[in-house]
A = this chain, B = another copy of it.
């Protein structure tokens, strides 16, 4: 008998009929002889409706965070009750627990609280009494009993943290995709579902466009060594196991290819090459809550001793970035200019194997060149290489790189 934590997202529990499907799935797991803790999200659409209500009662003002948490927590509370009573109606012992009831303690940062402690004795007791435990994702309580929510990706985090706290044998994250793929199957036809991937690889892929899970939950799993499986709630296919890297993982050079569209490149030219400049620029960008990804700075080449700094942002953030940078530019001197262009996309190859294999970058660049794709910016980490290309070329770029590293079901050997 294993102890399994399962997580079902808002779409999986979006209607009464879907809740019945989830209940049947839980029962199947139980019938295989396992103990089950199922973490559920708010039914899809519910959270948005609650936010609308909040905006209607508060008018011009922002709703207060403390009360927003009390409000949003009702979404998951509704789902746990419905799921548990559904299981009861199918003749099974099941009980619901809110985050607070399950002993999930957080700090007091409302709307984006961090889990500080989990007291799992109550959950263990219920499991030992033969119950299936239906646990509200996304929520917890402060030590003094205030209701908190965990922010984006919070239900995944609940599942992984609870799996760590009760020392579960496996944590299954049910979603609407079959697992993690070598590339987006809508772009690369022969993209292959991965049987396993390391935490670090999934993190790098998540940060470069493969949106399977929020990085935060993966980081938590990595920190506490929680092995989890990403799989589909729509079929019975096995998914992708995410775990600490193994020897066999390292023999694979490239795990996958990620792509991210709708990017823009912002270049600041004529920047004096002295300490503190970059800090000022990205301080301003960060204060404006703009997500920056690639940052590239060349060594000074101009006779005037100045350099250029480029970075990428989402194209919708261009105007915001320019506004945020205006005061900094004035500060940096009159020759400093800002230039922003959209219509670019990012392409990344990720794999822990590249740590011990040289020549990966060269191989990637050659593949792109052979496909007639021009590279604009390059940025590398230990297990990832990212380039930007023209957005209209991203699909052929992805196909070329995917094929070059023989990631598909029917590897194309010749290049």
Contacts and interface: CB of A to CB of B under 8 A. Distances in A.
A156 B336 CA distance: 68
Contact of A74 (B23, B66, B78): B78
Give the most central of A20, A60, A64, A85: most B CB within 10 Å: A85
A84 interface: yes
B101 A85 contact: no
A53 B88 contact: no
A371 to B, nearest CB: 52
Contact of A53 (B16, B23, B50): B16
A80 interface: yes
A57 B19 contact: yes
A68 B81 contact: yes
Nearest to A77: B74
A170 interface: no
Given A57-B20, A145-B101, A70 B50 contact: no
Question: Do most interface residues of chain A lie in helix, strand or loop, or is the interface mixed?
Answer: helix
A77 B84 contact: no
Nearest to A15: B56
A145 to B, nearest CB: 6
Interface string A32-57: 00000000000000000010011011
Given A53-B16, A53-B82, A101-B145, A70 B66 contact: no
Contacts of A56: 16
Contacts of A410: none
A63 B80 contact: no
A161 to B, nearest CB: 20
A107 B342 CA distance: 63
A133 interface: no
A126 to B, nearest CB: 11
A146 to B, nearest CB: 8
A295 interface: no
Contacts of A67: 81-82, 84-85, 88, 95-96
Contacts of A54: 81-82, 85
A281 interface: no
A23 B57 CA distance: 10
A67 B136 CA distance: 13
A3 interface: no
A375 to B, nearest CB: 50
A61 B84 CA distance: 13
Closest 7 interchain pairs by CB? A71-B81, A16-B56, A61-B89, A67-B85, A58-B89, A70-B81, A74-B74
Interface of A: 16, 19-20, 23, 50, 53-54, 56-61, 63-64, 66-68, 70-71, 73-74, 77-78, 80-86, 88-89, 95-96, 98, 101, 122, 145, 147
Given A23-B57, A74-B81, 9 more contacts: A16-B56, A54-B82, A57-B83, A63-B85, A63-B89, A64-B84, A67-B85, A70-B81, A73-B77
